[in-house]
Chains A and B, each alone.
Chain A
Amino acid sequence: MRRIAGALGLLLAALLPAAAPAQPAPPPAAHPVFEELALAPPPGGRPAILPPAPTAPLLVQSPPLLPDAPAPLLPPLPPPPAPVPAPVPAPAAPVLDAPAAATPRPALVAELSQARVEITTGFTGTELLVFGATDRLIGPQPGAGHGDDVLIVAQNAPQPMVVRRKIRVLGFWINGPSARFRSVPGVYLLTGTRPLREMLSADERSTKRLGLENLPLESTGIQDPSYRQALLQLKQDAHLWWEADTPLRIAGARLFSARLPLPATVQTGDYRVEVMLVRDGRVLARQELGFRVERVGTAASIADVARQEPLVYGVICILLAAFAGWMGSVLFRRS
């Protein structure tokens, strides 16, 4: 797994400098067979393509990809595989069983730079790299309109939140009426090759619940759209919710990479990253990845003790503070 990720990283690094401009831009003529194939994987929440097995075919077939950037001449698309085999790549190592050409090529492969984000005592936020490759060309194509699109959404488990409106009572601003939102993702980060609005229609966005405007935020208590707006605004101000303004990076028209900003206030726990392939306003393939945000080292043990043994933690705090005060006075009196 790590080796594959590393290899992909190398591949990406090798290709990034030789950027896209010299692209031959083969006509992105939709191949009916291939389209059918790409369409098949998505049903169900299960990732269409899962590492490590699925990434193997990419590596096997990467030779045709590699010369992509340097060599101006290139067969436009790999020969479409026969439609008969199952669209989901067989878990049995395809390297040994089948010749590379016969293996169906995944429409989309993605990976994260790290499966764990560690919060140490020096944590000030970080960036998570999502990278991958597509089978067909992505991003703007010179002279030939727009290729496929890639959409990346990262979020964690939703939790209940309360939004209070401040009201003025006797000249003082106090917390007044409140709306309770049952499931609010603590973090929601979205980026893609184009702004979401251009990629998917409003209907598609709302049925797939994509984008900040389509988050399923049902509230109890006061029913007023301004509470929802305030939640959106304050979450974005805190950099916990984010819809990228700029497109993610594309290299060689097939490799993409995006940096998801995680602020210092990021919550611990499991996160889900969905990478989607979009063509003609529809999601064709998707892959689900995950990472975990954990406190490590001193920060982790302090938080653990405080939660699990509050009494012990309280006593430790008292003793430590008393000791520090006493130590300090001894040290500074002498000097």
Chain B
Amino acid sequence: MQVYLPIAEMSVDALLLLGIGFGVGWLSGMFGVGGGFLLTPILILIGIPSPVAVASGANQTLGASVSGLIAQWRKGNVDLKMGGVLLAGGFTGSFLGVQLFAWLRRQGQVDLAVSIFYVVVLGSVGALMVRESVRAILRRRQKGAKPKRLHAHFWMHGLPFKMRFRKSRLYISVIPPLLVGFSIGVLSAVMGVGGGFMLVPAMIYLLGMPTSVVIGTSLFQVVFVAANVTLLQAVSTGSVDIVLTLLLLIGGVAGAQFGAAMGTRLRGEETRALLGAMVLAVALSLLWGLVATPESAFVIGPLP
């Protein structure tokens, strides 16, 4: 069943989009991430123009994260103060990111920039995740492993503007969360992802937040940054395709429920290792797309 996407100005099989949404939703439900990092590259792969894929991906991430946020909010797992600080950084970052995106589009280098961002970010995050989880699995096999400290103290904790985050049981400078929020905001705008897969490790390892509030707070940040990116993309590049977004969401929401049910049956370390491997695979396939000799030596496009 073909459906015409009014902003992408092309027609795509609706079942294919529902299927992609379902698959990504299933994986994201299983691993507890938004899945934007999978969705945008797949959309580009099936021929959706990069600007539309990125902008609609952000919009989809927003929808996919809302239900999670509501659930976490009910359980009281959202640190509003920390979320607010992250968000302040995130708004600034996404604002600059959208400007960067529009500039890249004028230069005709959007496809390249999006791919490089993906390869670098996904490659390093995926590698870190695989390494960390493999170590954890090995450590579990060894008996009598040493208990870990809650978090290590390093230079970051000497920065000024300290603030108390009650729910996270932290007394740290606002600069690191602001920077974390800012960089996630930029990536969110350029890559069309919510950034949950980077935000969660950053909050645990960099900020030292307790795991219980990490998911809720990161969802809080993701929802609002994705909303901001959607709005900014709609205004500055006009490339948000609501038909595409909704089709993906319908599949995604259904898939997420099945994925979540399956995810509870997997061990934490194995889940992380699998997720890391998947992230790495996406990065490698995008890298291949950059290195492989293109079918045509030329590309055409409208004059921006």
In the complex, what distance in Å separates the CA atom of A328 from the CA atom of B223?
16
Beta-carbon nearest neighbor of B227 in chain A: A318
Contact B246 A320 (CB under 8 A): yes
Is B205 among interface residues, defined by CB-CB distance under 8 A? no
> What B residues does A311 contact at CB under 8 A?
231, 234-235
- Beyond A325-B66, A329-B71, 13 additional contacts (C-beta under 8 Å) are A122-B2, A164-B299, A231-B298, A231-B300, A264-B11, A299-B4, A314-B231, A314-B232, A316-B242, A317-B59, A317-B234, A320-B242, A325-B62
Indicate which residue in B10, B233, B235, B249 contacts A325 across the interface (CB closer than 8 Å). Answer: B249
> What B residues does A120 contact at CB under 8 A?
4
Across the A-B interface, the 3 shortest Cβ-Cβ residue pairs: A328-B253, A329-B67, A314-B234
Beta-carbon nearest neighbor of A266 in chain B: B9
Q: A123-B11, A311-B234, A322-B63 are in contact. Are A234 and B6 (CB under 8 A)?
A: no
Contact B300 A235 (CB under 8 A): yes
A-B pairs with beta carbons under 8 Å apart, 28 shown? A121-B3, A123-B2, A159-B302, A161-B303, A164-B108, A172-B291, A173-B294, A175-B109, A175-B299, A231-B300, A234-B299, A264-B10, A264-B11, A265-B10, A314-B233, A314-B234, A314-B235, A316-B242, A317-B234, A318-B227, A321-B242, A324-B246, A326-B70, A328-B67, A328-B252, A329-B67, A329-B256, A332-B257
* Chain A interface residues (CB < 8 Å from chain B): 119-125, 159-166, 171-175, 178, 180, 226-227, 230-231, 233-235, 264-265, 267, 295, 298-300, 302-303, 306-307, 310-311, 313-318, 320-322, 324-333
> What B residues does A267 contact at CB under 8 A?
9
Scoring B residues 226 to 238 as 1 if CB is less than 8 Å from chain A, else 0, what string do you get?
0100111111001
* Chain B interface residues (CB < 8 Å from chain A): 1-4, 6-7, 9-11, 59-60, 62-68, 70-71, 108-109, 111-112, 223, 227, 230-235, 238, 240, 242-243, 245-246, 249-250, 252-254, 256-257, 290-294, 296-304
Contact B230 A306 (CB under 8 A): no
Q: A173-B294, A316-B242 are in contact. Are A328 and B234 (CB under 8 A)?
A: no
Scoring A172, A300, A333 by chain B CB atoms within 10 A of each residue's CB, the highest score goes to: A172
Contact A321 B246 (CB under 8 A): yes
In the complex, what distance in Å separates the CA atom of A55 from the CA atom of B191?
57
Contact A321 B245 (CB under 8 A): yes
Contact B253 A315 (CB under 8 A): no
In the complex, what distance in Å separates the CA atom of A265 from the CA atom of B4?
10
Beta-carbon nearest neighbor of A321 in chain B: B63
In the complex, what distance in Å separates the CA atom of A178 from the CA atom of B10?
25
> What A residues does B254 contact at CB under 8 A?
328, 332
In the complex, what distance in Å separates the CA atom of A174 from the CA atom of B65?
34
Indicate which residue in A122, A159, A178, A321 contacts B230 across the interface (CB closer than 8 Å). Answer: A321
Scoring A233, A322, A332, A333 by chain B CB atoms within 10 A of each residue's CB, the highest score goes to: A322
In the complex, what distance in Å separates the CA atom of A226 from the CA atom of B235?
37
Scoring A159, A180, A326 by chain B CB atoms within 10 A of each residue's CB, the highest score goes to: A326
